[in-house]
Amino acid sequence: MIRKTLFTALASCLAAGAVLAQELPEDVVPPILQFSFSNPGARSMGFGGAFVALADDATAAFANPAGLVQIVRPEVSLEGRSWSYSTPFTEQGRVEGEPTGIGVDVVAGLRGGTSSDDVTGVSFLSLVYPRNNWSFALYRHQLADFESSSQTQGLFAGAGTTCCRFTDQRAQTNLEVVSYGLSGAYRLSDALSLGLSLAFFDGIVNLQWELFLPDEDDVLQSFAPTSYLPERMAVQASQQIDDRDLGLTAGFLWTLSPRWRLGGFYREGPGFHLRGETLSGPSGSFVGLPAAGTVLEQGASPSAFPDVYGLGGVFQSEDGRLTLAFEWNRVEYSTILDRLDPEDFDVDDLVLKDGDEFHLGGEYVFLRSTPVVAARLGVWLDPDHQPRATAASELIELALLPPGTDKTHWSVGVGLAFENFQIDIGADFSDLVDTVSLSAIYSF
């Protein structure tokens, strides 16, 4: 009778988990998406991303197109970046109640895991052509390039015969957004210039969840590790984007004096079409689902990346050796959830707040060296932009989507400037992602 009671409780819990998975296209449980809106270029990275009021090289085509008027000769820029992501996720433990001490149910509270993923590629490429008071640029920018994977290994709730194990799930995230832009700038006066960019965005996003039953249909297996056997998959859910969009960026650069400058920008985020689908798996029949491969739910909705706007200032010493820069960016992260159609994607129990980034950096140039050498140091605050569950959410959502924290990034950089050629190296370090950048600029 005890085994039968426990088995009934287990079956009920698995059924509840399967229902939750079946409704994923409506009750979205989004993963952590690590992407920032920092400016391209190794030089900008060395400044901690504080570049909007400096914007004096080819990367201004994205960072602040108004700065393109500072370039006096045609210029080509190329940057490569390497990202090392450490993405946290909830792996194991107790959503509520005390552990039974049986099998993997030995963790009080929740224990996290980390997904480690490395991505490398060409992150920025541009061509700038100045002419009198005008300047034009073409560019390609890797706005986002992110991968992560996670899997749970025993999330429990309740106690005694009502002890319940939520269905273990495996998740995979792939996110890539590339923009191709045309930028132009005009010098209104010696002190003020304006710039405008039109960007074409190409976005590919693939989010996939798979829910698995225990390795065997036995009550004791409910406390054993899950091997994620293909034949034990009960439900598969996915959300995908493969779409394109246009967006605008506007900027200004104002020279207050030979030592002080102000810059600002507004950058429109792309909007994409999102599709979601849930299918029954090979073991779905165990919890009352139809044959494997049957479509359980489908949904479609517009979605959007955040708009970003910012303001910054630059101070340069009289001899030109020292440059200090500051930048504030407002990132409208809430757009990610607000744009979803509630008819197909119900996110009422999730919260994603807008964030304020603060960037500070400095550069010291050794003018008497050949080539000219510049050393840089920067720091910036990356606000928490992890979707999190509210108090009204389901227990599993509270476990998988806990509140995040703000992250501090530290950056360093070195630049070598020749007569027609410049090479820069930058590195940015934080708890979640380490980035290394190598960029080159050639003037002709």
Q: How far apart are CA 356 and CA 177, in angstroms?
A: 22
Interior/surface letters 77-109, b for 16+ CB within 10 angstroms, e for the rest: bbbbbebebebbbbbbbbbebebeeebbbebee
pLDDT of residue 29: 44
Which pLDDT band holds residue 228 (cuts at 50, 70, 90)? very high
Interior/surface letters 335-344, b for 16+ CB within 10 angstroms, e for the rest: bbbebbeeeb
Q: What are 314-367's pLDDT values in tens digits? A: 999 999 899 999 999 999 998 888 888 887 777 777 888 899 999 999 999 998
Mean pLDDT, the chain, rounded, equals: 86
Which pLDDT band holds residue 392 (cuts at 50, 70, 90)? low
pLDDT of residue 412: 98
- Residue 299, pLDDT above cutoff 50: yes
Q: How far apart are CA 222 and CA 11, in angstroms?
A: 10
- Residue 22, pLDDT above cutoff 80: no
- Whether 358 and 328 have beta carbons less than 8 Å apart is answered as yes
Query: What number is the average pLDDT over the span 379-405?
Result: 81
Q: What are 193-217's pLDDT values in tens digits? A: 999 999 999 999 998 989 999 888 8
The percent of residues above 90 in pLDDT, for the chain, comes to 55
Residues 6 or more apart whose Cβ sits within 8 Å of residue 329: 37, 308, 309, 310, 356, 357, 359
To which residue do tokens 């270029």 refer? 41
Which pLDDT band holds residue 141 (cuts at 50, 70, 90)? very high
Query: What number is the average pLDDT over the span 230-244?
Result: 92
- Whether 126 and 76 have beta carbons less than 8 Å apart is answered as yes
pLDDT of residue 348: 76
For residue 202, what are its two tokens?
A: 């190409």
C-alpha to C-alpha distances, 113 to 38, 174, 429, nearest whole angstrom: 27, 18, 20
Q: What are 38-87's pLDDT values in tens digits? A: 789 999 999 999 999 999 999 999 999 999 999 999 999 999 999 999 88
Q: Domains in the chain, ordered, with CATH?
A: 2-443 (2.40.160.60)
Which pLDDT band holds residue 36 (cuts at 50, 70, 90)? low
Query: What number is the average pLDDT over the span 135-157?
Result: 91
The percent of residues above 70 in pLDDT, for the chain, comes to 90
